[in-house]
Structure 1
Amino acid sequence: MRGEASRLADRSSRDLMASKLKAMGGDAGQLADQMFVVCGILDANPRLQRAMTDPGRPTEDKQSLVRKLLGDNALPITVAIMDDLVSRAWSRAYDIDNAVEDFGVDAIMYEADSEGKTLQVSIELAQLQSALLNLPVVRSRLSETNGVAPQARVELLHKLIGDAQFDPITMKLADHIALNPRKRRYVETLQWLISKFSRHMGESMVTVTTATAMSDAQIQRLIAVYSKQLGHPVHIHCVVDPSVLGGMRVQVGDSVTDRTVVAQLENLKRMANMAPSF
């Protein structure tokens, strides 16, 4: 949980820079690359985090530290963002890392906007998440950091994706969270990204899992139901998983409603195990 000062610093800085990021169009991807690199460096260096967020240190000193960190090849907007971030108050040092990553994701969303791929990337992230739901070992390895080289996680991810034609923008995000899990589970981070894209588009991603493919009429009914329920447009991401046997599992953000046959059978099994014996 971020403290109030960190939430305000993150939000205010991103609001201040939003128009500049949007104006970059397709070039925003370069900014994302640099912000993700900075995020990784800060995550690995707690002393640097503290130096950049120390309220007793003059802002000019912290901005000088930014220039030493970024070197001569940083984009001017990268420098401007970091200068702004180190000038703000933070509840804890680690929160500046979160803000840097937020800027990287924002940049990618604006890049996707400029190429008309925002919804496509959101759908592909949901497809990747769905593919991992039934692969617990792979999920675990994508989040494992002890004794595992970052590139090994990326190679595992690419092996999983195989011949699937995901957009390079999707792959940039997928690779980033494999390279630097940031003490998070991979699937949970995918959901975080999907939610950010949904808010950015002004709609929600509703993932519906069924044993067989739904008809267009069924999908349209779900769109109407959830658009009314949530108060804004939704996109239905359909997942076919024969192992659920029947029924439907619906995920909206972190909320899951599971009315599949397999879930009902599991509930009956748990109830039977809890029933007193005579």
Structure 2
Amino acid sequence: MRGVSGASLAEVEERFNSVAGSADLGALSGDLFAVADLFDREHGLRRALSDPARPAEQKAQTVRVLLEGKVGDAALQTVIAAVEAKWARAGDLADALERLGVVAASAAAEAAGQLDDVEDELFRFGRIVDANPELRAVLADYGVPGARKEELLESLLGGKVAPVSLQLIKQVVTHPRGRSLERGLAEYGGLVAAQRQRLVAVVRSAVELDEEQKRRLTAWLRASYGRDVHLNVEVDPRVLGGFSVRIGDELIDTTIAGRIEEVRRRLAG
């Protein structure tokens, strides 16, 4: 979000931070996801509550009538702050609430000592989906009811991943909001990583890295970027040797395959 919506998001996050500390973070996350889903379904309501021409107090009162007693107080205060803010487009309202739902879930995972697990499990689930076209087809099929997808995810992941991981995967699968499954998982993974203000580095290597190699690579990246870095390691024999590291749009490629490709580009030029 940029411009007006970026400033509005900062205001809503400030209200969220002021009420989240004393809230049940798991319940807060679920409430914010539910309200974001409501605004996605009810286009007229979303347009009315994001209309900058309507008085802020009028929009806040509408939210109180709709949600009081149905969501927790922390969620209610966050939603009121969101509808009182000014957004560049109507969809930014639901985007902000979804984002804060992920932040609340991440904070719950951190409090339970499971934040690293959640980061890893979101990444690994993305790799599982990539490797199973049939599974991806079912999860991405708009014709398959959300309840059926949740049952499938429960059977696949229930008891095998952290509760927050399962919650986030269910949310992004059943409410893609116009994103591909891969993009949704990546966005959620980035928000989870940001809970500790860490960068996410996707490492591709021909062989699995041992713990000492991961420690040294993490230390080098931390020194290079001045921030903590979480490694998601992907074993890919096609790299031939060495490894590559992608952080956002930046690629550090030491693979033999990468060097061969660079030679080819130079020869072609």
**TM-score (norm: length of structure 1):** 0.83
**Aligned with 2:147 (options 146, 151, 161):** 151
Q: Does 1:230 align with 2:231?
A: no
* Aligned pairs for 1:84-103 within 5 A: 84-103=81-100
Q: How does 1:18-167 map to 2 (within 5 A)?
A: 18-24=17-23, 27-70=24-67, 72-136=69-133, 138-139=135-136, 141-145=138-142, 147-158=143-154, 161=156, 165-167=160-162
Within 2, Cα distance between the matches of 1:261 and 1:193? 32
> 2:248 matched to 1:253?
yes
Counterpart position of 2:204: 209
Structure 1 residue 67: deviation in Å?
2.9
Structure 1 unaligned segments of length 5 or more: list them: none
- In structure 2, the gaps of 5 or more residues are none
| 1:197 counterpart residue number | 192
Q: Aligned in 2, Cα 1:78/1:34: closer, same or farther, shift over 3 Å? A: same
SS in 2 for 1:214: coil
Structure-2 change in CA distance of 1:260 and 1:151 (3 Å): farther
1:124 shift after superposition: 1.6
The superposition leaves residues 101-151 of structure 1 with CA deviations (integer Å, 9 ceiling, x where unpaired) of 112112112211221222221122122223334445544553443x33223
- 1:241 Cα deviation (Å)? 3.6
Is the Cα–Cα contact under 8 Å of residues 204 and 244 in structure 2 kept in the other structure?
A: yes
Counterpart residue number, 1:174: 169
Q: Distance in 2 between matches of 1:140 and 1:255?
A: 30
| Pair 1:230–1:137, CA change in 2 (3 A) | farther
Deviation at 1:165, TM superposition (A): 1.6
Q: How many residues align?
A: 269
Aligned residues of 1:42 and 1:97 also touching (Cα < 8 A): yes
Contact 1:21 1:110 in 2 (8 A): no
Report matched runs for 1:256-275 at 5 Å: 256-257=251-252, 260=255, 267=261
Give the TM-score normalised by structure 2: 0.85
The percentage of aligned residue pairs carrying the same residue is 27
Residues 83 and 215 of structure 1: CA distance in aligned 2, closer, same or farther (over 3 Å): closer
For the residues of structure 2 that align with 1:107 and 1:23, how far apart are their CA atoms?
Answer: 12
Q: 1:140 to 1:60 in 2, by over 3 A?
A: same
Aligned CA RMSD, in angstroms, stands at 3.0
Counterpart code for 1:56: A
Given the superposition, is the C-alpha separation of residues 31 and 65 from structure 1 closer, same or farther in structure 2, using an over 3 Å criterion? same
Q: CA deviation at 1:69?
A: 2.9
